[in-house]
Amino acid sequence: MIKVQVRPNESLEAAIRRFKRQCNYAGIFKIAKAKSYYEKPAEKRRREKRERMRTIQRAERMRRNARF
């Protein structure tokens, strides 16, 4: 659970921005979006496979760029 305490002399808008940023980092928005509609099991497998491949490719690019 994410909690944000309003700091002294902090506006409510700034506290809301901090809350939204923490929710974004925690992945709450992504989970809520995924749960907002039904996803077939086959579509879920395809999506997860694409995400794994993207992660692997990103790590490979980082590894290649780190050598130079």
Query: Which pTM value belongs to this model?
Result: 0.56
- Rounded CA-CA distance 54/52 in Å is 5
Q: Comparing 53 with 1, which gets the higher pLDDT?
A: 53
In this predicted structure, the answer to whether residue 22 has a pLDDT above a threshold of 90 is: yes
In this predicted structure, the answer to whether residue 13 has a pLDDT above a threshold of 80 is: yes
Determine the 3-state secondary structure of 4 from DSSP.
coil
- Could you tell me if residue 38 is left (phi over 0), alpha (psi between -120 and 50 degrees) or otherwise beta? beta
